Amino acid sequence: MIKKLFITLSAAIMSTFFMVTQFTLAPTAFAYPHPGGLYSQQLIDEVKINAVSSNPWKIASDTLIAKAKWLQPEMPSAVATFYVPAYYSDPAAHTAASAILQDDVKAAYVSAVAYVLTGNASFGNKAIDILNNWAYINTDIGGDDSSLVMSYAGIGFIQTAELMLNYSGWGAADKAKFKEWVSVVFLNKVANPNKLRTNNWGTWGLFDAISAYRFLDDSPNVLSSITLLKSKIDAQIALDGSIPEEVNRGVGGLRYSYFYLAPLTAAAQIALEAEGVDLFNWISPQGKTIKSALDFLLYYMQNPVKWPYYSNPTLPTATEAWPYNLFEAMSDYYPDPTFAAFASTRRPIMETGHHYAWTFPTLMKSGRSLVSETFDGMPIGAAPTGWIVTNSADSSAVITSISGNEDKSLAISDTNTAGASLVHKLFPTQSNIVTAQWSFMEQTVFPYAKFGLRSGATFATEIYTAGSNLVYRDASGTYITIQSFATNTWYTIKIVANPMTKTYDIYVNGLLKIANAPFTNPVSSLNSIAFYGGWAPTGMVYINNVGVMK
């Protein structure tokens, strides 16, 4: 009896242990951090601090809060079947039908951002009321332009939900219903059918899909979306940066190019934040890049008379945010000061009402930029404002305009074989990765002009012009050729410097030339970018568009 009892108890204990062990070892459900995607909690916290007194965040925040208050009376107006007529068949009916969705998205998204920045529950409740209304009522998407409008406007609901997911005022049943709407309506009837198209419908569909899958914590489908995004970059962007499907669309070629790139770049941000895949700096198998497409668009936005596809292309009106919102956002990803300079004329930028990719680019700036200099606002003949200039006899560093237009640059001149000019710009000390970019040009060969990042007075990275070659100096003092260069030609150099590994990568005109070059001097932090005329040789070097980013 005792033996039988012992066996019975042992079996019970083992059974209990097995069940507990099974429960303990069972894998937990995967979840991305929320909020996330476009705007992480870390970024939101940074913006809260900056919005107190620092511009452009403060003025952008004030503008947003005022709009959120103005939108408080907005009543949700979801429909069971969302239908929008084709624009080119009936523009007025298209606009009216679109507004049913667009007005609700605007009120929800603006209110959600206002809530996460202020904690004001009235903003949070407004956002949730609208999300719930569409989740419970909308069950279908009609034909014609219905899925396109839901794609480029309805994505704002996903971004709203991402911000509000942890809000205590959003009940579990309502959250579940909204997630059901995302899966059954938004993904199945909008995002997934559209994402395979090769024009802007496709990039909006892909942005929709990767955002929705991230919101639903579906990592496998986020990863498959990243694969599709790579294929779009490789197949749909031309080597010159144009978007063939969009540039040939008559008078709207510039706007449609923007309308393709806005969701493409927003999808790239989701890929970076969710899975650590950096497509902003990725070079496709055929040599295509996002940056080349942005450069192409910016050039023709600034030079529309040169647009080769159609005379007098449509440009934004004085009140429209496109494509300023795109370049404001992209100034957080590339150390290219021309992006921020272009966008700054429209700050604070907020794109609400029509489509929702880069909606709050001024407000939600990350503050990664350390130096952003085009020299364009400085008087010709003067030393560069905000830079420290040290000249020896017969050397100088002044603002000039080579072609006599508004595009100014810094000219470093040296006619003294025993002297030089050093120009440097300080930034807060950085011990993590720093990316720097600048353009240079020599009209005649100026041997041993030097460019680099410094720690105090010590150059960590040293790149030189040596005859007709670009070279870098390694830790042993050896000069190693990067590539040749031609006079009277601008070259853009980018370096990605890592004080932790004391190495840096060198890019020329967007192409990686040297990986893991050793620091010339093994410093542990960086705090300035510097340009130096050769000590013994004489000559002149022009510097332009200097950017440094952490």
Regarding whether 319 and 431 lie in a shared domain, the answer is no
> Which residue among 367, 387, 408 closes a domain?
367
Please check whether residues 437 and 469 belong to one and the same domain.
yes
Q: Are residues 209 and 113 in the same domain?
A: yes
Give the domain extent around 402: 373-549
* CA–CA distance, 293 with 416 (Å, rounded to integer): 43
Domain boundary among 309, 341, 367: 367
Closest CA to 528 of 406, 415, 388, 424: 424
Q: pLDDT digits over 182-221, tens only? A: 999 999 999 999 999 999 999 999 999 999 999 999 999 9
Indicate if the pLDDT at residue 392 is higher than 90. Answer: no
Sign of the dihedral defined by the CA atoms of residues 376, 378, 382, 383, in that order: negative
Instruction: Tell me, yes or no, whether 531 lies in a domain.
Output: yes
Question: Is the separation of the CB atoms in 241 and 284 below 8 Å?
Answer: no
Q: Are residues 50 and 186 in the same domain?
A: yes
Instruction: Return the closest-CA partner of residue 188 out of 163, 165, 213.
Output: 213
CATH of the domain at 321: 1.50.10.100
Q: Are residues 264 and 284 in the same domain?
A: yes
Regarding whether 463 and 347 lie in a shared domain, the answer is: no
| pLDDT of res. 519 | 98
**Positive or negative, the Cα torsion across 104, 109, 110, 116?**
positive
pLDDT band at 404 (very low <50, low <70, confident <90, very high): low
Q: Domain count of the chain?
A: 2
pTM for the structure as a whole = 0.90
Nearest to 207 by CA among 270, 284, 141: 270
pLDDT at 251: 96
pLDDT reported for residue 13: 31
> How would DSSP label each residue in 123-170?
HHHHHHHHHHHHHHH--EEEEETHHHHHHHHHHHHHHHHHHHTT-TTS
Which amino acid makes up residue 519? Answer: F
How many other CB atoms sit within 10 Å of the CB of residue 448?
18
Please report, for residues 284, 388, 525, 533, the alpha-carbon distance to residue 391 in angstroms, rounded to integers and kept in the order given: 44, 10, 26, 10
* Residue 164 falls inside a structural domain: yes
Beta strand 81-84 pairing with 140-144: parallel
Q: Assign residue 21 a region (left: φ > 0; alpha: ψ between -120 and 50; beta: otherwise).
A: alpha
Is there a single domain that holds both residue 256 and residue 290? yes
Co-location of 338 and 382 in the same domain: no
> Same domain, yes or no, for 223 and 277?
yes
Phi, psi dihedral angles at 188 (to 5 degrees) = -70, -30
* Alpha carbon distance 31, 219 (integer Å): 8
- Clarify whether residues 310 and 381 are in a common domain: no
| 147 within domain boundaries | yes
- 350-386: pLDDT as tens digits: 999 999 999 999 999 998 999 999 999 899 999 999 9
Looking at residues 227-252, what average pLDDT do you find?
Answer: 97
Question: In the numeric block, which tokens belong to residue 377?
Answer: 């606002």
Give me the pLDDT at residue 538, please: 82
- How far is Cα 389 from Cα 387, in angstroms, rounded to an integer? 6
Report, as an integer, the average pLDDT of 172-176: 98
Beta bridge partners of 435: 496, 549
What CATH number does residue 529 fall under?
2.60.120.200
When the pLDDT of each residue in the chain is averaged and rounded to a whole number, the result is 93
**In-domain check, residue 514:** yes
Beta bridge partners of 395: 414
Percent of the chain with pLDDT over 90: 88
Of 336, 367, 398, which closes a domain? Answer: 367
pLDDT in tens, 243-254: 999 999 999 999
> Is 45 inside any structural domain?
yes
Residue 4 located in a structural domain: no
Phi, psi of 397 (to 5 degrees): -145, 105
Answer whether 159's CB lies under 8 Å from 113's CB: no
Residue 142 included in any domain:
yes
Residues 394 and 356 in one domain: no
Residue 29 lies in a domain: no
Residues 510 and 402 in one domain: yes
